[in-house]
Each structure stands twice: as C-alpha cells, then as structure tokens.
Amino acid sequence: MADVREAEYPGQEDGDAIAALLFGDVDPSGRLTETFPASQADIPEQSAAQWPGTTEPDDSVGPHSDYSEGLLVGYRWYDAKGITPLFPFGYGLDYTTFGYSGMTLGATNADGNVAQASIRVTNSGGRAGADVPQMYIDDPASTAEPPSQLKGYVHVSLAPGASATVNLPLTARALSWWNSTTHSWTVSPGCYTVAIGPNERDIAAHQILSVDGAHCPGAAASITVGSGSRPTVTPYACYRPSGALVGTRLGPARLGMARRTVRHEFAKLDLRGRRYMDFFCTGQNGIRVGYASSTLLRSLSRSQRRRISGRAVLILTSSRHFALRGVRPDTRLGTVARRLHVGRPYVIGLNRWYLVADGSARGVMKVRHGVIQEVGIADRWLTTSRAQARRFLSSFS
C-alpha cells in the first residue's frame, strides 16, 4: 500500500515530529488546507492574463493577474465545475477510523449564533486518534454563491471505541453573501443545506435549514435572521455613517486620538489588530487606524515623538460612504486626477500612495492598478517632505 505524507511548514523539530508519525507514536491528524488537482488541466489558471499576468503601459509596478474565476476560489472551483480532485480540501488520513451519526440541527441565539449543528463522532478503530469534523453550507441558488462553503470545523481527540458529540455553531454572517449594490453583507430567505463530513467531498450527513420563512420540505430547523439587509449580529456590524472626508475625523475616529480611546469607540465591532494598525469590521466597509511605528518615531524629534506616540496618525476606509473631496473608493484614478491635482505617487510594494491637501488636513489615497482602493486622512506633520512621507506610508503598506 502506498503511503503519502505532506509535511508543510516544518520547524526545527520537524525531524522528531515526522519520526513520531512514521513509527506510529502519534496519530497523523492533519488536514489539507487546499485542493490537490488530478491534472494541471483542471486548475482555473489557463491563460497568460491569469498567470503570470499582464503589465499595463503606465504601470511601473509590474505584471498583475486577472482573477477571472471570481468567487470560485480554491475548492469552490472544482465543485462548481464538477471536477474530481486528486485530494479534496480538508482531506486527511489517520491510523484509526471514525464514524459519524446522529446529526441534529437547531435554532439558537446564544453568543450571537442563529443556529447550531451537532453530530456524534466515534473512533471505530483500535487506536487513539483525532478527527476534524467540518461543516459546509450550500446557499440558495438565488444568492449566486459558490456551492459547499466551509463555515466551521472542530478538532476532537478520541480513545479507541470512544464517542463524542461535537457542536458547530452558525452565525448570521455565515449565512450571508456580499451585496455589491448595497455594499453590505446580506442574508437571503431560502433553504440552506448544512452538511458535515471529514472533508469537503466526503459528507457524512446533511440537513436543511429554513431561513426567514422559506418553505423548505423536510427542514430540520427554521430561523429568522432578517433578509434584505446586513446581519445584525454584533461582532460583524460595521460602522457606516455617510458624509465627506473632512478635517481630522473619519467616523468616530480622529487623528491624535489615543489607541485605547479608538478601540473604546469601536468596542462593539470586529477588531483585527496589528502592532501599529487596527482594522475594524470586515469587507469593504472596514476602517483602518494606524499608529506611528517605532521606525517612524525614531526619525522624529523628541517633541514630535511625545505628541504622536500611541496615537492615531492615519485613518483609512474603503467604504464608499466616505469621500475625499468627492472621490470614493473603487473609482479609477484617471477620472479624478485632474480635479484633485494629483502629483507624483509614492510607489510602495504593490500600492501607489497619493497625498492630497484638504484644508488643514492631509488627504490620502491608496491606489492599485489605477483603481482607488482606500481614502483617508493623515497627520500633516508627518507628510511635510517626500522622504518623511515615504517613511510614514511605508509603515502601513
């Protein structure tokens, strides 16, 4: 029997880890985080525009790829096209075997969840091991979403012959699709298939979930989320005020505001923090607040360092509800350059940054491949020279 092992991202103890697996001291319970195609002809990248990409005449950054597969990224491509992969997403082998039984699906509103799936996992082999039950959702056809999308998983360790019931909660966000017209996450009424299995292609059990009054024969549960609008689950509710980008404020965030105060203002929103930047919310309505990096602080005088250390010096948004002197994200730079008197860009990585004077403040635009990605405001004291502006913008690229 052939035995295939994939040891990705090994650390300095990879030798001991692989030896323990080969000699059977531990169970190899890893699962694939990507799909292995059976043939190169099966992959979505079949043109030069997709790979290695093309370079526009006025693009000094280099070639960029055309992601023409759209939403069909990864395993979604193979499902939508009916292609059988060599190894599916989530696949993995153990020294033991597992069985699934007794799937249930019910409504719940605990901890922001709107539904919960449960299933019993049994170690049916003769050795201890660990399994990773995975939950996939198939949305109604009206959403035009890809089939079978991963929405949850859990790791469970079991002794030989032992069983455990695992719970996989569903949030409103897991039932949502991105509405490019309203620029918000939307839950559509309909019949959702909730499936659980050891990998994306090996489904052990599935049940139907009725959402917002949809008639679904044989549905195991029915819930009301609120169709036609963004889910109201607190961790995913984005701040979306309307208005222009003026002065030193963007929504509830203001230049010079202490980091702890900014986080307090956004306390109910989803926070993705980095060392020198906080990203609040998800999707295209996110607001990024940047704080002076150590590299930038070292380039400033002592008085300047005291004034901005630990405080907001850059605020960006990709929400079209904000505008920089009438310019919104997703707009092509060429259509607004003359109106804004855009000068020479700061090319940093894949992005081009432009500074635009806006009264006493300094406006910022982040552009990629000629399209404005984000607009924002920056501390004017940190953008007084090209060298200083480059150091400043490099901290957030």
Question: How much is the average pLDDT of 70-80?
Answer: 90
Report pLDDT for 246: 54
Whether the CB-CB separation of 185 and 283 falls below 8 Å is answered with yes
Beta bridge partners of 168: 117
Could you report how far apart the first and last alpha carbons of the chain are, in Å?
49
Q: Has residue 192 got a pLDDT over 90? A: yes
- The per-residue pLDDT for range 9-24, each reduced to its tens digit, is 777 888 888 888 888 8
CA separation (Å) from 78 to 13, 66, 68, 84, 152? 35, 19, 15, 7, 20
Contact between 388 and 317 under an 8 Å Cβ cutoff? The reply is: no
Mean per-residue pLDDT, 64-91:
89
What is the 8-class DSSP label of residue 253? E
DSSP alpha helices (H): ranges in the chain? 14-22, 75-80, 259-265, 294-298, 302-308, 337-340, 386-394
Q: Hey, how many other C-beta atoms are within 10 angstroms of the C-beta on 35?
A: 23
Give me the domains of the chain, ranges plus CATH numbers: 15-223 (2.60.40.10), 238-394 (2.60.460)
pTM here is: 0.59
Over 80: is that where the pLDDT of 272 sits? Answer: no
Beta partners for residue 107, in sequence order: 115
Residue 209: its pLDDT value, please? 94
Residues 23-67: pLDDT tens digits? 888 888 889 999 999 999 999 888 888 888 877 655 555 677 777
Nearest to 173 by CA among 68, 91, 281: 281
Using left for φ > 0, alpha for ψ between -120 and 50, and beta otherwise, residue 99 falls in: beta
Q: Cis peptide leading into 28, omega within 30 of 0?
A: no
- Tell whether the torsion through CA atoms of 373, 304, 248 and 261 is positive or negative: positive
Element at 197 (helix H, strand E): strand 190-197
Question: Given this model, what pLDDT does residue 39 score?
Answer: 94
Residue-level pLDDT at 338: 66
Residue 139's pLDDT is what?
92
Rounded Cα–Cα distance for residues 95 and 98 (Å): 10
* Span 114-132, average pLDDT: 95
The highest-confidence range among 23-27, 109-113, 186-190, by mean pLDDT, is 186-190
Per DSSP, 395 falls in state T
27-36, 72-81, 198-207, 248-257, range with the lowest pLDDT: 248-257
Query: Per-residue pLDDT averaged across 170-196, rounded?
Result: 87
Q: Does the structure show a pLDDT above 80 at 394?
A: yes
**Model confidence pLDDT, tens digit, residues 281-297:** 644 467 889 998 888 88
Structure tokens given for 294? 């150590």
Choice between 165 and 186, residue whose per-residue pLDDT is larger:
165
- The tens digit of pLDDT for each residue in 315-371 reads 988 776 666 667 777 778 877 766 677 778 888 877 789 888 766 667 888 888 888
Q: Are 372 and 337 in contact (CB under 8 A)?
A: no
Token pair 């044989």 is found at 218
